[in-house]
């Protein structure tokens, strides 16, 4: 069912919503997908393996977790293979450092734990791959990212990442509301894993964004969440107008999806990002009145885990 109120929005979904709100709304709110991105599915495989490694310290358990996830998601296409996943998981325990390139002794606070924070009438939901602390009471998040190619400039993208700024904002809020213990410094970092042989791992510590930058990031999150909510409300009022208050789930879905294809902004800048056509291109090139039929014909309702 597309209606989820209050709106729950994660950093990665906010980032997609800031790039193209239509794509985010159809994919993340209406759960319409042609297929699951093979890169995202493969990323899940490595995430599961890495999480098992940090939780157990046992390479066999890390391998088993990754292979089980491979069997569950089976990334489509020929760019990913179970052999590649096994190679990365054999290498990861030998190369991964708990706290990427931070000095000192760190220990794990949480692995893959999801937190929810209420912001206004919306819910900010975020999950950190690893949350670490040290004896100086610093807190550090580590986000594992798999990539086809890690260039010398690969790390620069993270300095502009809405997702990473929102992790830092969330961390700050968890300390302020005492969900997490008082901390001296908050850090956000990435560990990049290249999907190639030989094994290559690239650590990156994100900039020390100040509060103003984080507030700006959360305003963008709020904008995406408000756009989501207003489209959902258009859908609800349209469903009531057409069917009365006793509308069915399917009638509500139809009204919400119609709002999604008609009243979202067309963002020409993102239709071919990362060198791939956006899956919704066939729909966006047609007139608004034609799009709902294309959505129903070409896209399944396929919810994914997380928010």
CB nearer to ligand SF4: give 125 or 282. 282
* Nearest approach, Cβ of residue 250 and ligand SF4 (Å): 23
CB nearer to ligand SF4: give 97 or 272. 272
Please tell me the total number of residues recorded for the chain in this structure: 307
- Residues in region 266-285 near ligand SF4 by CB under 6 A: 266-267, 270-271, 278, 280-281, 284
* Nearest approach, Cβ of residue 262 and ligand SF4 (Å): 13
* Nearest approach, Cβ of residue 209 and ligand SF4 (Å): 27
Q: Pick the closest to residue 187 from 104, 117, 122 (CA basis).
A: 104
CB nearer to ligand SF4: give 197 or 276. 276
Collect all residues with Cβ–Cβ distance below 8 Å to 52 and sequence separation of at least 6.
58, 61, 62, 64, 65, 66
* Nearest approach, Cβ of residue 280 and ligand SF4 (Å): 4
* Nearest approach, Cβ of residue 296 and ligand SF4 (Å): 16
* Nearest approach, Cβ of residue 306 and ligand SF4 (Å): 20
How many residues touch ligand SF4 under the rule CB under 6 A: the total is 11
Q: Pick the closest to residue 29 from 252, 256, 295 (CA basis).
A: 256
What character string, x for contact with ligand SF4 (CB under 6 A) and - otherwise, covers 228-267? Answer: --------------------------------------xx
CB nearer to ligand SF4: give 205 or 292. 292
User: Is residue 233 exposed (0-12), middle (13-18) or buried (19+ Cβ within 10 Å)?
Assistant: middle
**Contacts of the segment 243-247: beta carbons below 8 A, 24+ positions apart:** none
CB nearer to ligand SF4: give 30 or 132. 30
* Nearest approach, Cβ of residue 65 and ligand SF4 (Å): 33
CB nearer to ligand SF4: give 88 or 283. 283
Q: Quick one: which of 13, 23, 48, 80 contacts ligand SF4 (CB under 6 A)? A: 23
205 sits near ligand SF4 (criterion: CB under 6 A): no
CB nearer to ligand SF4: give 1 or 285. 285
What character string, x for contact with ligand SF4 (CB under 6 A) and - otherwise, covers 161-200? Answer: ----------------------------------------
CB nearer to ligand SF4: give 6 or 279. 279
Residues near ligand SF4, by CB under 6 A: 20, 22-23, 266-267, 270-271, 278, 280-281, 284
């Amino acid at each position: 069912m597309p209606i989820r109120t209050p709106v729950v929005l994660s950093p990665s979904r906010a980032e997609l919503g800031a790039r193209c709100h239509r794509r985010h709304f159809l994919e993340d709110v209406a759960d319409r997908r042609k297929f699951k991105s093979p890169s995202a599915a493969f990323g899940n495989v490595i995430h599961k393996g890495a999480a098992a490694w940090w939780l157990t310290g046992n390479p066999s358990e890390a391998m088993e977790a990754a292979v089980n996830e491979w069997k569950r998601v089976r990334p489509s296409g020929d760019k990913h293979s179970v052999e590649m996943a096994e190679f990365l998981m054999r290498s990861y325990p030998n190369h991964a450092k708990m706290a990427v390139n931070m000095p000192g002794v760190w220990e794990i606070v949480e692995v893959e734990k999801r937190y929810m924070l209420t912001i206004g009438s919306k819910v900010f939901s975020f999950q950190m791959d690893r949350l670490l602390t040290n004896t100086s009471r610093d807190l550090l998040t580590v986000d594992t990212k798999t990539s086809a190619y890690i260039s010398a400039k690969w790390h620069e993208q993270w300095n502009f990442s809405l997702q990473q700024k929102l992790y830092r904002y969330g961390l700050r809020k968890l300390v302020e509301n005492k969900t997490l213990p008082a901390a001296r410094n908050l850090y956000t970092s990435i560990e990049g894993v290249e999907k190639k042989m030989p094994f290559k791992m690239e650590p990156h510590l994100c900039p020390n964004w100040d509060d103003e930058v984080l507030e700006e990031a959360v305003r963008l999150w709020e904008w995406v969440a408000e756009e989501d909510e207003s489209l959902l409300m258009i859908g609800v009022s349209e469903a009531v107008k057409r069917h009365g208050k006793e509308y069915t789930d399917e009638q509500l879905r139809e009204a919400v999806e119609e709002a999604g294809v008609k009243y979202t902004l067309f963002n020409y800048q993102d239709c071919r990002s990362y060198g791939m056509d956006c899956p919704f291109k066939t729909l966006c090139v047609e007139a608004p009145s034609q799009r709902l039929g294309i959505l129903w014909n070409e896209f399944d309702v396929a919810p994914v885990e997380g928010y």
